[in-house]
Structure 1
């Protein structure tokens, strides 16, 4: 369990994720049944921690503004979040939400790359990130769907000092052209993948809980994937390896 209970993540490694939802209680019911999560009674800020077998795996938060998207956001580890935020602008991206402390848990920021794909940065305090990953019901992968994949390589390779897409990169983050999976007009975006033991059973459960399949199962180099939408409109992928 040592790999899953990672106490620290190197710069540029996906280390956390959260969902902004209109109805937090509905989200707890949906993801609790789909992935077997339990939820803390106590909140930090307005967010609630989701746990699998006692370890933190994600957070759900109620949307404070109806104009905000209903979406899953991935956070990349940032040992020095303010220095990293400064490099985003230099690389042609934009800081959407400046670094801010989240109680004693850490410091978070939101950013967008040059094509507009939104992602988070996380500098840990008492909360290093995922307590479990790479197993059913937890984070398995995040895919960037970009229009210009070479430009994405250059931006993220420069931002995280070559930590991604290159030799030795931790196999948690990939990139592909939007048109490989989605209609060409789909905006560039990150897609969080959850590992499941049985892809067909997971899709049946998503449908029963009021979600829907957005992209039917297809094969990738990292497993069989389907893209789904939850019962409130947040897209994510389920992955069977």
Structure 2
């Protein structure tokens, strides 16, 4: 499993209509470099690197019905056993566990509210080689319209230790690994309530965050590269963040951490 505790975010990838355009965009915005043998080795599944370390991947869309989106994967030592727990807790399997030798075993699931996430049982590909630093993944959270339902599901399936942030009146809950003391030192993700400020048509979904050195400069660069700023840079207790969309419409967040 690559040293990731079960339920920890261990990988992220973006499914895009135009892989070459995605490489240009994220190469310029995040400073990423990419596999140069992806076509021969893995059918165009292209790993992204920051400082020579694996941090994410870009995936070409093979079906127009697939969303253009960033997705997060949670680590597990046994994807099939976890799939059973997901179904028992009211979730569903979008894609049953499948082995991808020599890299590992993957599955795609959805929680009771419809938010989609991946499972990864690592072997040759264990997941992030770098995280929590500029240019790499640093956080994820599920946005939901039913906070109680989401809390029950993820805490039952993964054993997450949840902690409501007092200043949010229960609208935001952080997650820490099973068996740990919940708090800012152990939290790796969370649950956020979709409130009235969000569009009524917005479905439950995960948002993937990447750390950056300068949030405002990154947001400005995103626009220059053809992307959009969907939430202007603002301060939070952990730093300064913004929500962006790339030039093909995939949403993600950036966080300048204190």
TM-score, scaled to structure 2: 0.87
Structure 1 window deviating more from structure 2 (45-54 vs 14-23): it is 45-54
Counterpart among 227, 231, 247 of residue 231 in structure 1: 247
Aligned pair count reads 236
Ranges of 4+ aligned residues in structure 1 off by more than 6 Å: none
- Map 1:127-138 onto structure 2 (within 5 A): 127-138=125-136
Counterpart among 176, 180, 186 of residue 202 in structure 2: 186
Are residues 174 and 222 of structure 1, via their aligned partners in 2, closer, same or farther at CA, if it must alter by over 3 Å? farther
Report the secondary structure of 2:202's partner residue.
coil
Instruction: Say whether the 8 Å CA contact 1:45–1:103 is kept in structure 2.
Output: no
- Map 1:102-113 onto structure 2 (within 5 A): 102-113=100-111
Aligned partner of 1:240 in structure 2 is: 256
- Map 1:37-52 onto structure 2 (within 5 A): 37-43=32-38, 44-52=42-50
C-alpha distance in 2 between matches for 1:70 and 1:90: 29
Instruction: Say whether the 8 Å CA contact 2:98–2:105 is kept in structure 1.
Output: yes
RMSD (CA atoms): 1.6
Alpha-carbon shift at residue 182 of structure 1 (Å): 2.6
C-alpha distance in 2 between matches for 1:157 and 1:19: 26
Instruction: Say whether the 8 Å CA contact 1:11–1:163 is kept in structure 2.
Output: no
Q: Deviations over 1:62-96 (max 9, x none)?
A: 00011110000000001100000111111111100
C-alpha distance in 2 between matches for 1:163 and 1:58: 26
Alpha-carbon shift at residue 12 of structure 1 (Å): 0.3
Counterpart among 102, 115, 122 of residue 113 in structure 2: 115
C-alpha distance in 1 between matches for 2:36 and 2:198: 38
Counterpart among 13, 20, 39 of residue 18 in structure 1: 13
Counterpart among 50, 58, 61 of residue 60 in structure 1: 58
C-alpha distance in 2 between matches for 1:154 and 1:194: 27
C-alpha distance in 1 between matches for 2:248 and 2:160: 36
TM-score, scaled to structure 1: 0.93
